[in-house]
């Protein structure tokens, strides 16, 4: 049989059945009518439902993320309430306890020449750090750098390399170098202008602060060790707690390793206060002022493309924008904003993959480039200064997250990914939440296209 | 009611028009469902679901002249039927190789006219569902093997071999029928 004939009977078959009609087993209209009346099934309505649910999902996403951010922010605020305590110490009034504090130091001076030089510097710092002491014209006539942010001014004005500055300073203080003194006087003047209000507030606490200071100096071995280390090994101390390396052009906010940070974890309030004195000493010695940054939780926005390797496994890349915002909690107002654009590479494992909802685990790495960095300072004079602090090296990080995605269409969806992230040190001096806590939580929101 | 009026009124959810649509097309659509399902009761359910779906998706339908409404309804029914077959994974059902008739002389074009449509429908219904599905899509809906393979999630070769076997089975049935009725 020819091929044509073969196909002919098939064509005939189709033609004979093309309009085939057979009455259904029963007329179904009534049931259909009922169902149509119960379910508003008209397609336009359905698509509205889809839009509504998409809108609802977006709103929900925003609420959840806003709440998360709020909670994170709140917790960091509390954290800083504790860490700000050091500043209060500056305004100690009771002289007797101060004397007690100084006495052991004076004794030390007699013993060792070199350390004595340093220590007396410290002593003076402590005394002059106490404003009232200065005001009343007590024991120390030598004006010295004051603790806290005021020293920033000293430091910047001196305009010296921080390292050498610190070393020089210990000696210079005792030699009463003119330059130093001038700077310090300036600092004091500015402090006086600045600190009046803080002083009044802190008065009720002062007695307690001094007592605890005394106690801790005498009893706490940790503290004694700290003091020795501080005087004898200023470099080591620097590395540990205060970051140095401020060049002339840079601002002190670079030294933003929050002075109070390490103590914030300290269980005892008294201990905390003691430490503050030391901190003040250390600060004045090193002439490097810690700006206490209040880092806000970073939130990233991204556009991701996901390619499924298998049904459950997918590789993902894209573009992520991140803003890091920090505010100083000192008396000066600093505000640092860094913008990053990053390219992540991640593997995703789908736990749930439905038409409208996807739940997945995600892990991978990201390279980020800082596209802009700004630091706004409001100086004592009220001048608003803005500086460029963008970071040159790439920021590398590893991350892991649990993601939830609402699929607006089968290929496109919005997602929220709460997760953990580890940031490698980028080698720069710019202080960010990533340096302070390299291992951190983050939340990423975005739009994803899958294929 | 004209076809355009019927379309417009169904689109806005007018029940009179919906009823008319049902009454006008239920027979032909039932035929399509039965041709795919191979079972009248299942076909009845598919018909119900198909109409429900059609009523709900009228906004997707654009009237393109006489016959387009029927063509669209038919597509809805075919898709509903395929969904059902896919869910039951019956699109892959086929006969063991040894049950495939060999050396069957294929019927002539004019032979087909001697077989009542209802009987032809019965032959299709009796095919294993894998053969039936491919035969329906290839012969009746005139899809290519590539399209069938995509729709059913099988490969093209499987589609064409199922069609080949379906034809063999049908040819045998038709020959047998003609033999019996011409005696």
CA dist list (Å): A422 to A193, A415, A434, A435: 43, 21, 8, 10
Contact A9 B171 (CB under 8 A): yes
Of A9, A20, A35, the CB nearest to B117: A20
pLDDT for position B144: 93
Alpha-carbon span A260 to A242, nearest angstrom: 10
Residues 70 through 109 of chain B touching chain A, CB cutoff 8 Å: 105-109
B99-135, pLDDT tens digit by residue? 666 777 888 888 888 899 999 999 999 998 889 999 9
CA A1 vs CA A4, B107, B114, B164: distances in Å: 8, 10, 20, 15
B139 vs A: CB within 8 A:
yes
Q: Cα–Cα distance between B82 and B89 in angstroms, integer?
A: 10
Instruction: Write the pLDDT tens digit of every residue in A87-124.
Output: 444 444 444 455 555 555 556 555 554 444 444 444 44
Q: Report the chain A residue with the minimal C-alpha distance to residue B55.
A: A42
How far is C-alpha A219 from the geometric centre of its chain's CA atoms? 35
Looking at the predicted structure, is the pLDDT value of residue A192 above 70? no
**A332 band by pLDDT with thresholds 50, 70 and 90:** low
Strand, coil or helix: what is A138?
coil
Burial of A51 (0-12, 13-18, 19+ CB in 10 A): exposed
CB contact under 8 A, B44 and A36: no
ipTM score over 0.90, yes or no? no
Q: What is the DSSP string of A239-267?
A: HHH------TTS-GGGG-S-TTHHHHT-S
pLDDT at A316: 87
Torsion of CA A387, A388, A391, A392, to 10 degrees: -140
CA pair distance A390, A372, nearest whole angstrom: 5
Q: What is the mean pLDDT of residues A59-79?
A: 57
Coil/strand/helix, residue B1: coil
Interface contact B55-A6, CB threshold 8 A: no
Q: In this complex, do A5 and B109 lie within 8 Å of one another by their Cβ atoms?
A: yes
Give the closest of A24, A25, A36 to B55, CB-based: A36
Residue in A closest to B15 by C-alpha = A33
> pLDDT tens digits for A280-301?
444 444 444 455 677 777 777 8
Per mean pLDDT, which range of A39-53, A157-171, A240-254, A325-339 is the poorest? A240-254
**Confidence grade of residue A72 (pLDDT, cut at 50, 70, 90):** low
Q: Which of B88, B74, B48 has the alpha carbon at shortest distance from B142?
A: B74
Full-model pTM: 0.39
Q: What is the pLDDT of residues B46-96, one digit of tens each?
A: 999 999 999 988 888 888 888 899 999 999 999 999 999 888 866 566 666
Strand partners, A412: A409, A449
Is the pLDDT reported for residue A43 higher than 60?
A: no
**Contact (CB, 8 A) for A414 and A58:** yes
| Least CB–CB distance from B56: residue in A18, A29, A46 | A46
The mean pLDDT of A434-446, rounded to a whole number, is 81
As a whole number of Å, the end-to-end CA separation of chain B is 49
At B158-176, the pLDDT tens digits run 999 999 989 999 999 999 9
- Closest partner CB to A42 (pick from B47, B56, B111): B56
Tokens of A136: 């009343």
What percent of chain B has pLDDT above 70? Answer: 92
Q: How far is residue A118's CA from residue A138's CA, in Å, rounded to a whole number? A: 21
């Amino acid at each position: 049989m020819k091929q044509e004939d073969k196909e002919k009977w098939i064509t005939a078959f189709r033609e004979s059945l093309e309009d085939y009609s057979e009455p259904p087993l029963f007329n179904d209209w009534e049931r259909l009518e009922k169902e149509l009346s119960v379910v508003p099934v008209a397609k336009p309505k359905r698509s509205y439902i889809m839009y509504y649910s998409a809108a609802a999902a977006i709103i929900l996403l925003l609420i959840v993320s806003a709440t998360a951010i709020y909670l994170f922010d709140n917790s960091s605020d509390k954290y800083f309430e504790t860490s700000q305590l050091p500043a209060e110490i500056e305004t100690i009034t009771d002289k007797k306890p101060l004397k007690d504090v100084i006495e052991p130091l004076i004794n030390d001076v007699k013993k060792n020449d070199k350390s004595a030089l340093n220590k007396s510097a410290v002593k003076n710092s402590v005394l002059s750090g106490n404003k009232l002491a200065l005001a009343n014209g007590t024991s120390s006539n030598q004006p010295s750098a004051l603790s806290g942010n005021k020293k920033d001014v000293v430091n910047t004005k001196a305009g010296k390399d921080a390292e050498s500055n610190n070393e020089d300073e210990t000696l210079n203080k005792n030699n009463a170098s003119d330059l130093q003194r001038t700077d310090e006087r300036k600092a004091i003047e500015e402090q006086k202008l600045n600190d009046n209000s803080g002083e009044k507030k802190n008065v009720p606490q002062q007695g307690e602060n001094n007592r605890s200071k005394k106690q801790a100096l005498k009893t706490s071995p940790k503290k004694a060790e700290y003091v020795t280390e501080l005087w004898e090994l200023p470099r080591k101390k620097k590395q540990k707690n205060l970051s140095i390396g401020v060049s002339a052009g840079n601002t002190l906010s670079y030294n933003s390793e929050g002075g109070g940070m390490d103590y914030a974890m300290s269980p005892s309030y008294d201990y905390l206060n003691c430490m503050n004195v030391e901190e003040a000493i250390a600060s004045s010695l090193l002439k490097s002022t810690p700006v206490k940054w209040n880092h806000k939780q970073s939130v990233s926005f991204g556009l991701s493309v996901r390619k499924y390797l298998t049904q459950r496994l997918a590789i993902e890349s894209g573009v992520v924008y991140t803003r890091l915002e920090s505010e100083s909690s000192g008396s000066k107002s600093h505000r640092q904003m860094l913008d990053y654009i990053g390219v992540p590479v991640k593997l995703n494992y789908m736990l749930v993959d439905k038409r409208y909802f996807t739940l997945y685990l995600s892990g991978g790495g990201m390279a980020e480039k800082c596209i802009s960095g700004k630091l706004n300072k409001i100086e004592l004079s009220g001048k608003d200064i803005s500086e460029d602090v963008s970071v040159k090296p790439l920021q590398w990080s590893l991350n892991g997250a649990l993601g939830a995605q609402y699929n607006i269409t089968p290929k496109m969806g919005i997602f929220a990914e709460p997760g953990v992230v580890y940031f490698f040190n980028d080698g720069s001096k710019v202080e960010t939440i990533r340096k302070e806590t390299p291992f951190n939580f983050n939340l990423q929101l975005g739009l994803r296209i899958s294929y | 009611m004209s076809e355009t009026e019927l379309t417009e009124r169904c689109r806005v959810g007018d029940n009179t028009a919906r009823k008319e649509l049902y009454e006008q097309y239920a027979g032909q659509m039932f035929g399509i469902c039965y041709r795919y399902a191979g079972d009248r009761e299942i076909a009845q359910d598919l018909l119900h679901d198909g109409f429900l779906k059609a009523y709900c998706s009228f906004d997707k339908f654009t009237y393109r002249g006489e016959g387009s409404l029927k063509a669209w309804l038919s597509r809805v029914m075919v898709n509903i039927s395929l969904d059902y077959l896919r869910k039951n994974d019956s699109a892959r059902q086929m006969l063991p190789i040894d049950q495939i008739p060999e050396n069957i002389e294929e019927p002539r074009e004019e032979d087909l006219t001697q077989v009542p449509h209802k009987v032809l429908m019965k032959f299709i219904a009796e095919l294993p569902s894998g053969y039936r599905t491919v035969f329906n899509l290839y012969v009746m809906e005139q899809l290519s093997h590539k399209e069938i393979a995509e729709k059913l999630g099988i490969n093209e070769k499987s589609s064409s071999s199922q069609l080949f076997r379906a034809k063999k089975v049908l040819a045998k049935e038709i020959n047998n029928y003609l033999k019996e009725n011409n005696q």
